[in-house]
Amino acid sequence: MLSELNLGKSAEIIDFTVVQFRYLVVLLKSAALLVFDCERVLNGHERQVRFMFMQKLELD
Amino acid sequence: MTRVEALEDGTPRSLLVFGKQSAPIIFVTFSDFECTMQSELEIPSGLENRQIVDLCIWDNKAAFLFDKNAIAVFELTTRTVVFRATYADATNNISNIYFVSEHSQPSAHSSKVAPEAGMLSGFFLMTETKMQVNKNEAEKVSSRTKLLRKLHLVEIQQSEVKVKKNIERRDRLEQVDELTFGSENPKLVDFVVAP
């Protein structure tokens, strides 16, 4: 799924966490956050995690 | 940015994102479509360029452990520091921090007077490790091994002191208990179920 976003080298995963046992948040090298909704996968309804959005962090 | 940490229930879909250095620590909340808020935590003076060693989160608070055993507790609803102290009793660097709620404490501490409203109370369990440099390695590749040394149970203490014109809040960390490991190689213990 990351390859579909055409992020190149900035797609390198630095860290990740799960919020409220549902949302997978991935921190990329480019200081962007990728957010996925894992609920339907965890319930067994889908095999692929739905991508919600990607947002670059605003750093001063 | 090197680390992302989810906050516990009580804050809607929230995260903390930060790097090796203390500044900036970014507080993020998000909805189904976007990040709804990004704001930086207000780092207290003197800690701006310190390294972040560990973090623990409870309720709406986050305690950051900085190098040189400095600790700052942030109230995440206001993104400000509510407690700041340096733990000086350790003989080495503290490498892990964990918050112990007062409710989980044994009765020995329950006899103390309840803290005033708005004051932070509780305990930190902290791990002290000794960094050992392997001298057999070449200088360029000096490897380090972590050895568990001590566990410190430290109480958060806040007091209000009247100064000439205003009331100042003083923060302090005081040792309550200490567990020292005599052997570097802990042995496995078999538990026997009583008949």
pLDDT tens digit string along B5-43? 898 766 678 889 988 887 889 999 888 888 888 888 988
Q: Does the residue B24 lie in any domain?
A: yes
Distance CA B83, CA B150 (A): 24
Q: Does the residue B190 lie in any domain?
A: no
- Nearest Cα to Cα of residue B151 among B186, B119, B121: B186
Pick the more confident residue, B154 or B141.
B154
**B6 and A16 in contact by Cβ < 8 A?**
no
Question: Residue B141 has which token pair?
Answer: 């590749």
Q: Does the residue B148 lie in any domain?
A: yes
Amino acid identity for residue B161 in this structure: V
Q: What is the rounded average pLDDT of the residues B62-86?
A: 92
Structural domain including B175 reads 3-180
Q: Does the residue B193 lie in any domain?
A: no
Q: Does the structure show a pLDDT above 70 at B119? A: yes
**B2 and A17 in contact by Cβ < 8 A?**
no
Q: Does the residue B194 lie in any domain?
A: no
The minimum CA-CA distance between B3 and chain A, rounded to whole Å, is 6
Distance CA B83, CA B70 (A): 11
Q: Does the residue B185 lie in any domain?
A: no
- pTM, two decimal places: 0.78
Q: Identify which of A18, A27, A37 has the shortest CB distance to residue B17.
A: A27
Chain A residues closer than 8 Å to B19 by CB:
none
Please count the structural domains in chain B.
1
Pick the more confident residue, B165 or B29.
B29
Pick the more confident residue, B173 or B1.
B173
Q: Is A4 on the interface with B (CB under 8 A)?
A: no
Chain B residues closer than 8 Å to A25 by CB:
4, 6, 15, 30
Pick the more confident residue, B166 or B173.
B173
Question: Residue B132: its pLDDT value, please?
Answer: 56
**A15 and B14 in contact by Cβ < 8 A?**
no
**Residue B170: its H or E element:** strand B167-180
Distance CA B143, CA B116 (A): 48
Mutate to test the interface with A, among B8, B17, B43 (most CBs of A within 10 A): B17
Comparing alpha-carbon positions, the chain B residue that sits nearest to A56 is B35
ipTM of the complex: 0.79
Confidence of residue B140 (pLDDT cuts 50, 70, 90): very low
Comparing alpha-carbon positions, the chain B residue that sits nearest to A12 is B2
- In terms of average pLDDT, the best of B76-80, B130-134, B178-182 is B76-80
Q: Identify which of A14, A25, A52 has the shortest CB distance to residue B15.
A: A25
Q: Does the residue B191 lie in any domain?
A: no
Comparing alpha-carbon positions, the chain A residue that sits nearest to B27 is A57
The minimum CA-CA distance between B96 and chain A, rounded to whole Å, is 19
